[in-house]
Structures are given as C-alpha cells and as structure tokens.
Amino acid sequence: MSPGLTLALLAATELLGPPIRQDGLNVRPPKAFHLARMDLFHGTRVIGTGSKDHTPRYLSAALMDGDGEDAASMLVSVIEDPLRLGPNARDEAATTVTKHLRDELGLEFTLERADVVSGAAARVEVRGSIRQGAQLRKLLVALFAGETRRAVVVFSVPSGRWDAMVPGLDGSLETMRVDQGAGPSRSIALAFAVLVGAALLASVGLWRRRAARRSTELTRP
C-alpha cells in the first residue's frame, strides 16, 4: 500500500464514529452523527411499487448530527431481497430515484450524477438536490448490492455544509457490511423504489413534524 493511500485511509477513519450494528448491518457513520429517537419516524412506512409485494423492508436506523433545520441526516433501510448491479444499474437508479421523489413525495429532484462503486461495499450512488421549503438540501442515495438482502443509505445535507461533509459521507459508505440471509428474488427497479421511498419519506416526515411542532409552540398563549 502506498504512503499516500495509507494517509488517505487514516484521514477517512478519523472522520468516522463508532460502528452501529443492528439488523445484520455494520456501518460507521460520520463522527458527529448520533442515533435519533425512532418515535420521530413513527408512522413512516416503507413504500413498495405494488400492493401484492410483501417482501420485508423497513427503516433500520435514523441518525442526525444536530437538532436544528441545518442538521444533516443519515437514514438506513433494509430490504430482505437481493440486488445485483448489472450494466444498467446506474441509469436505473438515477431514473427511479428521480421518478420516485417526484411521483410519491412531490419533490423535484435535480440529478447531479450517478456512479457504480465496486469493492467490498459495492453499490450504486445517486447524488442531487431537493428543496424543502426555503432550504436547498443535497442528497446522496447509496444502494448496496447483496446476494440475498441489502441496505440503502440516504444522506440529506444542507447545501452550505455539503463540501465539508463529503469525505466523511464517502468514508462511511465504504464501511457498510450486510450479513446475508435467505430471501426471495425481485426486480432491480422494485428494490430501488422501495428503499429510496422509505428513507426519504422518513426524512421529509421528520422535518414536517418539527415544523408543525414549532408552529404549535409559537401559537401558544
């Protein structure tokens, strides 16, 4: 290993916090992130693309690096189903993320790039931005490959904080490991839509709940 690569790996490690191990997942979040109260996401459902699909899928963990609207979030979802990254994975992911945000969540997603990342944490990444009220937020959606089950991680970051946070986000994604178990087979498009919808609904729901809570507090006598 070259000295330059060693230094880069050490620098990335310093940006990460302790590992989170649950639901068969093992990942190190960026250093400032902490587990959020899951009751903030109560009522959030993982969205499927067909009513006959009963594949288990769920939000596994929600993390934040603060409590205000300028906080970044990290949402981790699981689907008990395989995902193999074929030659069209990049285009399929970009199309499905964009369409799902628009059709299911009413959010206009500005796509910036999509990439397939190989290695121990093989995945397809989709990067872009959405506007939540007056705030522009950057999204990084990472859909991990898996032989029988897989994870999806969604980072949502205020645009003004994005550049400084990217090294930690990338380093965190490289640490993702998913224990594999038996599961049925579904299409790649379904796997994308199900988990992207789940994680982003959780994020949008959280901000809406906080906005409603602030509005209630302001109107109290």
pLDDT at 114 over 50: yes
CATH number of residue 68's parent domain? 3.40.1000.10
Query: What is the Cα–Cα distance from 206 to 215, expressed in whole angstroms?
Result: 14
* Least confident interval from 156-160, 184-188, 208-212: 184-188
pLDDT band at residue 3, thresholds of 50, 70 and 90?
low
What pLDDT does 209 receive? Answer: 58
What pLDDT does 76 receive? Answer: 86
User: How many domains, the chain?
Assistant: 1
Query: In 121-158, which positions are buried (b, 16+ CB within 10 angstroms) versus exposed (e)?
Result: bbbbbbbbbbebeeeebbbbbbbbbbebbbbbbbbbbb
Would residue 69 count as lying in a domain?
yes
pLDDT at 128 over 80: yes
Would residue 58 count as lying in a domain?
yes
pLDDT band at residue 135, thresholds of 50, 70 and 90?
confident
pTM exceeds 0.85 for this model:
no
pLDDT at 166 over 70: yes
Print the domain residue range for 154: 17-209
Would residue 7 count as lying in a domain?
no
pLDDT band at residue 5, thresholds of 50, 70 and 90?
very low
Would residue 1 count as lying in a domain?
no
Would residue 190 count as lying in a domain?
yes
For residue 88, give Cα distances in angstroms to 14, 48, 113, 186. 35, 21, 14, 16
What pLDDT does 110 receive? Answer: 94
Would residue 49 count as lying in a domain?
yes
Would residue 6 count as lying in a domain?
no
